[in-house]
A and B are shown apart, each in its own frame.
Chain A
Amino acid sequence: MVFSELYSAYYNTVAKIITEAIKHPLSDNELQTIIEKHAFSESMLNIIPAFKEERWQLLKPDGKTTIKNVPTMPLTTLQKRWLKAIFMDKRIKLFTDKTLDFTDVEPLFKPEDIIVFDKYADGDPFSDEVYIKNFRLTLDAIKKRYPLDIETTSRNGEAVHIILMPEYLEYSEKDDKFRLTGSGEKFGSTVNLSRIISVKTYNESFDAEHAKKTPLRERTVIFELVDKRNALERVLLHFAHFKKQAEKLDDERYRITVSYDKDDEMEIVIRILSFGPMIRVTAPQHFIELIKKRLINQKSCEL
């Protein structure tokens, strides 16, 4: 099952230790370095004594191992079933044209077994050949660090040219979209992959060292809530993916601080509104004004 020692950090760490010990007897320092890299911060306290006391009879006190071959383990049925399932996902074509040949297992799930019921309907065209080609070139450029010449459509529908050193692809499951973030000679940019008209390798000179990145503009919003009808859990789960802090003010009242990127401010306003009178924004003032403005406009609708 999922919770098994076969997948444990300790088994993986011991495999690394044996791999090195096959090459040469391991010193205590080398042992420590491997444990620090592959296991947890307190693992040293368990793994080293287990070897030294010969409870795990795999490594002798002189650092030599009795194992002859580099440790390997075949894929478990669970791993094969999961891989078979993800190879049925339409997004797999972004990465490979290969198919998997695990005839001995059934997929862990089929696409129709799972419904992401609230993702937006205008997700990226993952099966579109041009989109797949653009995705693969973009990913290759990120890995090999070369600039791209991108023609894309702006929000206003105009074609725009951008020269960009691509840094990473960001995927949103809610939007079902990929966005490329990269640095440019004048400023950093973010490009929706589905808006790319054409992309090619940029062969002219590009000063990658001095390229500008899009700076992170972290903002915070503070709001209070009263924990009635499970409000606290609903709110905290909803904002769980942000950096946040929750404080208890009294028996029922809580103060929540959420950090977000400035570009996403309107989205945060909308998400806070979705909780209705369950929460009240208390700071900063400009955020309170954004909420008030919407409420004033709502009043004018005379609902």
Chain B
Amino acid sequence: MSYNELVKNFNRIRDYMREFYVYGFKSRDEYTKKSARSYDDERRRLESWLGDYMQFRRTPDGKNVFISIDSRQSRHNPLYKAWKTKSFTDGDITLHFILFDILSDEDKSLSINEIMEELDDYLGQFENPRYFDVSTVRKKLKEYTEAGIIITEKKGKTAYYKRNKMSEPVNCDILDFFSEVSPCGVVGSFLLDKIDSHEENFLFKHHYITSAMDSEVLCLLLMAMQEKCSIDLDILTRKKEVFTENDVVPLKIMISAQSGRQYLMAYVPRFKRITSYRLDNIVSVKTCSVNNERKITESENTDYDILQEKLKGMLPHIWGVSTQGSSGERMEHVEFTIRYAEYEQYIPRRMEREKRCGTLEYLEGNKIRFSADVYDAEELVPWIRTFICRITDISFSDKKLEEKFKNDIMKMYALYGLEGGGENGIQ
């Protein structure tokens, strides 16, 4: 098939964007999963959509392509552009604009026959008029009714079609801000596309834009959560194989502002427990109601609410998203003490604002002890390391983890040539 700037399937481009944006060091030869032709096409598409954000570097292994974006300097997420590239047929676009012109008046309601007649008037003005059969037009109107832009009303046995009412435009500051910070912000970007260019007054710090690539998955999960229905997930494993997890009950979306990762917290019947899935590893989501047109029963509703309550009770013991540690114990204990100088009052303030659970004890001599009972104490390790230079005491109930923490510090001494270290290499 010849090259087309637009794409039918988002998942392939999702993979490439992640490779180019997050990694960006692979040469053409390393994209072995796909053919060289496929690589060239996807690279060309991304160049066309992202323009100057696409950069190149020559290395001994060949030319590396990467996406370089300083998200603090971009007022809008450039990766949203990928969501505006869905392919369509010549008939789709022709029909779209003519149908909405025929139904331009909000009060005008027409039967399919009346629409077909008017359609012919439009097409008849061309030298070789296109021909649309009734079923194609009816299918398109059904699709638009499902999207909410056309309203179908039955009068007797005849269906009448009219456009849905136009809404008041939303303030562009609201769209500028929430399209960047809200889940599924790409929808806000779609709304911004309809507004004339304007001054944009917001910038964003610590702004992770990669989540844009998971918008469709997130959207389907949120819809399933509103309907309280279970879903089947296709999930990518570390070995890049896809497996299906059936009848998962989606409960919450957990987002990390410090890594940009998004997770689904869900009850999994196979494990009989609540666990987390990274959204960027979810390939597809199939919801029961969409597949089966099934309404949720009262008992399922109760079950769903019970699971929500269960998760709510667990949250004070979840540091990140993990609900099970490597020790095998249901709950793990962690505590550590830090010291600070009298003039370093920002340290206790930092502790207060950064601790997500657990308790702080203010000890004599400008010391603070943090302690918590969590499902997975290993999740706290990166945070505890940020206090390196002032940790005077640390204890994990999982003694292997404690030993590893202390060994890691010794390895860091060695990495920077400070005596007392162990192995002299990066881990």
A residues near B273, Cβ cutoff 8 Å:
none
B198: shortest Cβ distance to chain A, in Å?
Answer: 9
Contact with A along B229-265 (1 / 0, CB 8 A): 0000000001000000000000011111111110000
Output the nearest chain A residue to B414 by Cβ-Cβ distance.
A277
Q: Are A173 and B181 in contact (CB under 8 A)?
A: yes
Point out which of A5, A105, A232, A261 has the most chain B C-beta atoms below 10 A from its C-beta.
Answer: A5
Contacts of B206 in A (CB 8 A): 172-175, 241
Identify the interface centre among A119, A121, A293: most chain B CB within 10 Å of its CB: A119
What's the least CB distance linking B380 to chain A, in Å? 11
| B226 with A299: CB separation less than 8 A | no
6 shortest interchain CB distances as A-B pairs: A77-B148, A294-B389, A277-B411, A297-B389, A82-B187, A74-B164
- A297 partner residues in chain B, CB cutoff 8 A: 389-390
Check A9–B167 contact: CB distance below 8 A. Answer: no
Q: Are B101 and A56 in contact (CB under 8 A)?
A: no
The answer to whether A170 touches B203, judged by C-beta atoms less than 8 angstroms apart, is yes
Indicate with 1 or 0, residue by residue over A278-303, a CB within 8 angstroms of chain B CB atoms.
Answer: 11100000001001111111110111
Chain B residues positioned under 8 Å from A116 (CB to CB): 255-257
Asked if A299 and B68 make an inter-chain contact with CB atoms under 8 angstroms apart, the answer reads no
Cβ–Cβ contact A172 & B204, under 8 A: yes
Taking the nearest CB of chain B, how far is it from the CB of A52, in angstroms?
12
Closest to B82 in A: A3
- Which residues from A are CB-within-8-Å of B122? 57, 66-67
Which single member of A43, A106, A117, A179 contacts B254 (CB below 8 Å)? A117
A8 with B85, Cβ < 8 A, contacts A106-B226, A241-B72, A298-B391 known? yes
Q: A4-B86, A89-B182 are in contact. Are A139 and B173 (CB under 8 A)?
A: yes
Whether A115 and B68, one on each chain, are in contact in the complex, defined by CB atoms closer than 8 angstroms, is no
Chain B: interface secondary structure?
mixed
Q: How far is the CB of B402 from chain A (nearest CB, A)?
A: 11
Query: Is B184 a contact of A108 with CB atoms below 8 Å?
Result: yes
Binary per-residue interface labels of chain B (161-184) against chain A in the complex, 1 for a CB within 8 Å, 0 otherwise = 001111100110110011001111
Given the contacts A240-B21, A295-B418, A171 and B205 also touching, CB distance less than 8 Å = yes
B339 within 8 A of A: yes
Is A50 close to B, CB under 8 A?
Answer: yes
Query: Contact mask A15-46 → B, CB, 8 Å, 1/0?
Result: 10010000000000000000000001111011
For this complex, 5 residue pairs linking A to B, each with C-beta atoms less than 8 Å apart, are A11-B93, A40-B49, A96-B174, A102-B167, A298-B391
**A205 close to B (CB within 8 Å):** no
Q: How far is B159's CA from A76's CA once the two chains are assembled, in angstroms?
A: 21
- CB-contact partner of B90 in A9, A12, A56, A76, under 8 A: A56
Q: Does B382 contact A (CB under 8 A)?
A: yes
Distance in Å: Cβ of B273 to nearest Cβ of chain A: 19
Give residues of chain B (316-334) contacting chain A, Cβ–Cβ below 8 Å: 318, 320-321
Is there a chain A Cβ closer than 8 Å to B342's Cβ?
A: no
Query: Do residues B352 and A58 form an inter-chain contact, with CB atoms below 8 A?
Result: no
Contacts of A15 in B (CB 8 A): 97
Asked if B292 lies at the interface with its beta carbon under 8 angstroms from chain A, I say: no
Using Cβ atoms and an 8 Å threshold, which residues of chain A touch B186? 2
Which residues of B are interface residues toward A (Cβ below 8 A)? 4-6, 10, 21-26, 44, 47-49, 51, 57, 59, 61, 66, 68-72, 81, 83-88, 90, 92-94, 96-98, 100-101, 104, 122-123, 125-130, 147-149, 163-167, 170-171, 173-174, 177-178, 181-184, 186-188, 190-191, 193-194, 199, 201-210, 215-216, 219-220, 222-223, 225-226, 238, 252-261, 315, 318, 320-321, 339, 349, 352-356, 381-383, 385-386, 388-394, 406, 408-409, 411-413, 415-416, 418, 420, 425-427
Residue of A nearest to B253 (CB): A114
Contact A245 B66 (CB under 8 A): yes
- Given contact pairs A46-B4, A176-B257, a sample of 18 additional A-B residue pairs in the complex whose CB atoms are under 8 Å apart: A2-B187, A6-B96, A55-B90, A57-B126, A79-B190, A108-B183, A108-B226, A109-B183, A115-B253, A118-B320, A226-B426, A259-B70, A277-B412, A298-B389, A298-B391, A301-B390, A302-B392, A303-B392
Q: Which residues of A contact B47 (CB under 8 A)?
A: 41
Kindly identify which residue among A57, A77, A273, A302 contacts B388, using a CB–CB cutoff of 8 Å.
A273
Point out the residue from A8, A66, A169, A244 that lies within 8 Å of B88, measured CB to CB: A8
Q: Select the stretch in A146-154, A195-203, A207-215, A246-254 that faces chain B.
A: A246-254
Contact of B167 among A3, A56, A67, A80 (CB under 8 A): A80
Asked if B10 and A171 make an inter-chain contact with CB atoms under 8 angstroms apart, the answer reads no
Min C-beta distance of A238 to chain B, whole Å: 5
Could you give, for residues 170-187 of chain A, a 1 whenever the CB lies within 8 Å of some chain B CB and a 0 otherwise?
A: 111111100101000000
Q: Whole-angstrom distance between the alpha carbons of A37 and B408 in the complex?
A: 53
Q: How far is the CA of A146 from the CA of B177 in the complex (A)?
A: 22
Q: Are A3 and B182 in contact (CB under 8 A)?
A: no
Asked if B386 and A274 sit within 8 Å, CB to CB, the answer is yes
B23 adjacent to A236 (CB under 8 Å): yes
Partner of B174, one of A40, A76, A92, A254: A92
